[in-house]
Amino acid sequence: VFKEGIISYSNVSKVQRLNIEKNIIDIYGAVSKEVAEKMVLGLDTEVAISTTGIAGPTGGTEEKPVGLVYVGIKVKEKVSTFKFNFKGDRSRIRQKAVLHSLFELYKMLEEDEQ
């Protein structure tokens, strides 16, 4: 059963809706492994996916280029994070982020059944 979906684009919504400590965002940035992990932990569900990234066309830096995406996945008590560096335009980067997120979730669900 799908419980809810949250689009928490702003840092304020990440803090208010997902209970991420502001200092985590200040230290690591909104696009980080740490924030992707905290996003899924902020949801009261058995299964959760979070994505945080820079889809472009602007906003990238040398340290965090356009195409950088972190994915957090929670299945029951297990939480994993993944880092991807996608190429393409904004639409293609977002599409790849969705597909890779779902594939990693599928693998974790398969693992959980065993």
Tell me what the mean pLDDT of segment 61-84 comes to: 97
Number of domains comprising the chain: 1
pTM for this structure?
A: 0.95
Report yes or no on 106 lying in a domain. Answer: yes
Question: What is the structure's pLDDT at 1?
Answer: 77
Q: Write out pLDDT tens, residues 20-31.
A: 999 999 999 999
Answer yes or no: is 91 within a domain: yes
Q: What is the pLDDT of residue 99?
A: 98
Strand partners of residue 65: none
CA distance linking residue 61 with residue 23, whole number of Å: 21
- Kindly state whether residue 24 falls inside one of the protein's structural domains: yes
pLDDT in tens, 90-102: 999 999 999 999 9
Domain range for 41 is: 11-113
Banded model confidence at residue 61, pLDDT cuts 50, 70, 90: very high
Tokens of 10: 């702003």
Q: CATH number for the domain including 88?
A: 3.90.950.20
b/e for 77-95, b at 16 or more Cβ within 10 A? eebbbbebebeeeeeebbe
Question: What tokens does 15 get?
Answer: 């803090």
